[in-house]
Amino acid sequence: MILFELSIYFLNTLMSKLKINSCIKDIPEPLQEVTERQLLVFLEKCEEQAVDLKVADSQLALVSQAFAMSKFIADYAVTRTEPFLELLSSGDLEKLREPDDIKAALALFLSSVETEEQLMAGMRAFRNREMVRIAWRDLLGLASLDETLCDLSHLADACLIFALDFLYQKSCDLRGAPLDSSGRPIELVVLGMGKLGAKELNYSSDIDLIYAYSEEGEFPGKREYSYHEFFTAICKKLTKVLNEQTADGFVFRVDTRLRPFGDSGPLVMSFAAMESYYLGQAREWERYAMVKARVITGDSETGCALMNILNPFIYRRYLDYSALDSLRGLKEQINKENERKSRANNVKLGLGGIREIEFIGQAFQLIRGGREKSLQERGILKVLELLGEKNCLPSMLTSELQEAYVYLRKVENRLQEYADKQAHNLPEAEGDRIRLAWSMGHQNWDEFMLELNAFRKQVHEVFSQVFEAPHADTALVDKPASIAWEQDEKVAIDALSGLGYEEPEDAVEQLEQFRRSLAFKMAGSRAIEVFNRLMPLVLSAVGCCKSSKVALQRILALLETIARRTSYLSLLLEHPMVISQLVKLSATSGWINQLIVRTPILLDELLDPGVLYEPLSKAALAADAEIRLARVDAPDTERVVEELLHFKNANVLRVATADVLELIPLMVVSDYLTDIAEVVLARVVDHAWQLVSASSGVPEGQSIDKVGGFAVIAYGKMGGIELSYSSDLDLVFLHNGKADGQTNGEQPISAEAFYTRLGRRIMTILNSHEVGGRLYEVDMRLRPSGNSGLLVSNLDAFEYYQQNTAWTWEHQALVRARFVSGDSVVGERFSGIRLAVLQKERDKKLLQQEVKAMREKMRVALIHKDKAIFDLKQGGGGVADIEFIVQFFVLSGALCGHNSLEFTDNIRLIKGLAKVGSLTADEANGLVESYRAYRRKTHQLALQEKPALVDDVEFAEFREKVTSSWSKIIGG
């Protein structure tokens, strides 16, 4: 009997060996021996435990591959044989678990848990099973990197949430629930930081957590027991449940050192205490840590409240290039630590490693995330994709970084999946190297290293380009420029003279005044450090200008404005070409300089000259505005105004820059400025409609989603598509609401009241004063009955007024009126009224007298008194005379029935008058040339912050042509 049993044993062993040899034949030879031993032990364990081994040969081959690549899986199979076989047969290895599936499975697995000890043991058993599943799927190529990272992150979330719920309920059972000021239970909010926050958890990662609760308070009772004590006890237990190493292992290593004040700070803090810390005491690197922060536990409303507190700390509302210098310093510290600890082969922290890719993405997030909400993304792969789409980096480079990131994270996971240890260094032992190379698809170490180093080289090259320190003290700056800033007066004068300054003594005095300014004195040590590196660059650039005195004066005015804003100073320091652009534009145009002084955020527009010098088409403007407003919560009018104002200023800057450099013609300048105004106006009308509709409902037949029954009519310069840089908007509001109509809101109001509220809201938004100015100054005096008339006129009333009551000058104004925003149906009705009024039969002699009398009144009231000065607009033979000539012809019926009457700009109307014979070709050309010359000069003077006044003789030839036409057509 014994001999028979031995025979069966040896036969089984022989069969097992034959089966094993078949399974390991494709495994690299150096790994076969250890894999064979592991498989034999596994099969023996199955036999010892009388487990029914239902593993197909094909599955055993997969087991052998998994054993070869992961000691952790092999150990689990040997020590937890029955759970391992259940996992093999469950089908879980072939599918990705969704977050809710993991939570449900964990809840079922721990359904009988009653004590903390049982909780700790049960969670470790569940965790180990899941970690085997995740490693198996990754190593055998059944899961993508994204699936692996999400699986790990969802497992961590599920364990954290279950453990906290268990501990919170136990604590509440003992003391009752802590209540907020509204009587609602206060839950613990846990922030997942780093890779957990981004759902990018690596295989054997720590989880970085920050604990918080919404309100301070105390439990009722004889013994005082605060909410802080309550939550501190829970957090200690939670950390222990997850982190403590027991005979069953651990769940997740927990690191709480990212909390306020680090290890020396309280384990958990109230929202108020956190707000005080992050907005007043937090260090710059903590912004970097917060980029990936994600609320894991607590109700969504409370979690959002915490993130709203933290967001102003993480993302500045302006472009923050100081973040680049801070990250550069942080990376230098890591590099020094790498050298000290010989981390050349560290795939996370070494050169070209995972951390460098993260730094690249997070640098742009910290710089631009406050302005571009889409960049407030936690996942680095998505961030890199966005950087390519937004042209922050060439898309080819971002694709290379994404590919490198996926590769490096796979290497990191394979290192850690071997023994469930937090390993980042490449192995030294030959067997371990072969194992890693094979897990990455290579048969030998050299091939693997060739591929790995190619990726690391790519990453480090991009990293070096992004983080390269500016060369403020290299050959890019003349030595005299450094001397001029750093040395005493006499030496500085000589240095500035050598740089080409026309009045070096005056320049030295300007610099001294700047140093004595309150703004410079109040600048912190960090700002002074940046100034000392920046000013030689500035002085060198100013020295290249013909008008260095004016250029320096204007640049110092800007620097004084931003002296305490190190983010803007850093932008200039990081981009010497921006300094050159800024000096050039400031020297050329005081208006551009003042625009940037009022709105320093526009410095970002100077980063890309290709974009700066190419104003956007109207379609592109509309798309740009939509993108900007998508960042804003709908009801937040202040933020809407802020975004639209930045949109306006940025795009007007583009036009002005192209204008002063003579890259676009005069007519196009006004077209661009008018397009910008129309896009802003359309967004303001839409926003005002949403606000008024939300509170009052909408008139009968209208929709809350679309402006209806209301139109904005532009007169004057905007109506004539002739806006200048300083033009206001002449507007009239019309509606076609029914006289007895009402809104459909809970508290209905009349349609007339609704449209009046809408008009007022539009006016309020357009006239709102912000740091960067106001959107537009609006003049509503051209509405029926002027300032005494209704703010919003009914279309029927408007038509009656124009046909029966309006003055001649009001009909003159109508020549340049056009629909620009709102309901196109109302706009078409207005256009019909306009054409009918303009084509009314009039007494030509009487019209001539009225036009002439109105022009004389304007001259008396508005013309410049100094006869040696010519007022381009109001002077005799100036712009107003040309406009009145055109308006006289139109009202006298010269264009009746002609399609030119649909135009509202003077140039096309003059050409139309020539076509019908009202003007000779010479007269028309003379008026057109004069009008263009006056407008060109007006634009130029506006860019120099000067009124539209010139020497009396400057436009004598043009004035003569206009005056001659005036005398012939109007008389006198």
Q: Which residues contact 644 (CB under 8 A, 6 or more apart)?
A: 625, 628, 629, 680, 683, 684, 775
Q: Mean pLDDT throughout 955-959? A: 93
Q: Is the pLDDT of residue 377 over 60?
A: yes
Bridge-based pairing state of the strands 778-779 and 729-735? parallel
Q: Is the pLDDT of residue 116 over 90?
A: yes
Task: Give alpha helix (H) positions in 734-822.
Answer: 751-767, 795-804, 808-814
What is the pLDDT at residue 20?
78
Q: Which residues contact 772 (CB under 8 A, 6 or more apart)?
A: 598, 599, 601, 645, 646, 649
- Fold designation for 842-969: Four Helix Bundle (Hemerythrin (Met), subunit A) (1.20.120)
| Spatial separation of the C-alpha atoms in residues 901 and 23, rounded to whole Å | 89
CB contact at 8 A, 31 and 438: yes
| Spatial separation of the C-alpha atoms in residues 333 and 190, rounded to whole Å | 29
Residue 303 half-sphere exposure toward CB, CA atoms < 13 A: 13
Residue (of 402, 427, 435, 460) closest to 346 by Cα position: 427
Its sign, for the CA torsion 279, 282, 288, 291, is: negative
| Spatial separation of the C-alpha atoms in residues 462 and 349, rounded to whole Å | 16
CATH number of the 322-467 domain: 1.20.120.330
What is the pLDDT at residue 121?
97
- Which residue intervals of the chain bear CATH 1.20.120.1510? 471-588
Q: Is the pLDDT of residue 762 over 90?
A: yes
Model confidence band, residue 494 (pLDDT cutoffs 50, 70, 90): confident
Distance of CA 155 to the CA centre of its chain: 31
Q: Which architecture does CATH list for 91-314?
A: 2-Layer Sandwich (3.30)
Please identify which residue in the block is written with the tokens 């052998």. Answer: 64
**Measuring CA to CA, how many Å separate 172 from each of 31, 300, 401?**
54, 21, 48
Its sign, for the CA torsion 323, 329, 330, 334, is: positive
pLDDT in tens, 383-413: 999 999 988 889 999 999 999 999 999 999 9
pLDDT in tens, 583-620: 999 999 999 999 999 998 888 888 877 788 888 899 99
Q: Is the pLDDT of residue 10 over 70?
A: no
Q: Which residues pair with 769 in a beta bridge?
A: 774
What is the pLDDT at residue 465?
85
pTM of the predicted model as reported, rounded to 2 decimal places: 0.77
pLDDT in tens, 542-563: 988 888 899 999 999 999 998 8
Mean pLDDT of the chain: 89
Q: Does domain 471-588 have CATH number 1.20.120.1510?
A: yes
In this structure, of 188-202, 335-349, 734-748, the range with the lowest mean pLDDT score is 335-349
Q: Is the pLDDT of residue 748 over 70?
A: yes
Mapped onto helix, strand or coil, the DSSP state of residue 742 is strand
Q: Which residues pair with 225 in a beta bridge?
A: 219
In this structure, of 256-265, 422-431, 634-643, the range with the lowest mean pLDDT score is 634-643
| Spatial separation of the C-alpha atoms in residues 432 and 454, rounded to whole Å | 21
Model confidence band, residue 7 (pLDDT cutoffs 50, 70, 90): very low
pLDDT in tens, 269-278: 999 999 999 9
Please identify which residue in the block is written with the tokens 């809970």. Answer: 746
Q: Mean pLDDT throughout 482-507? A: 83
- Which residue intervals of the chain bear CATH 1.20.120.330? 322-467, 842-969
Model confidence band, residue 61 (pLDDT cutoffs 50, 70, 90): confident
| Spatial separation of the C-alpha atoms in residues 860 and 243, rounded to whole Å | 87
| Spatial separation of the C-alpha atoms in residues 597 and 645, rounded to whole Å | 15
Q: Is the pLDDT of residue 5 over 60?
A: no
Q: Mean pLDDT throughout 149-174? A: 96
What is the pLDDT at residue 8?
40
DSSP secondary-structure letter at 944?
T
- Which residue intervals of the chain bear CATH 3.30.460.10? 91-314
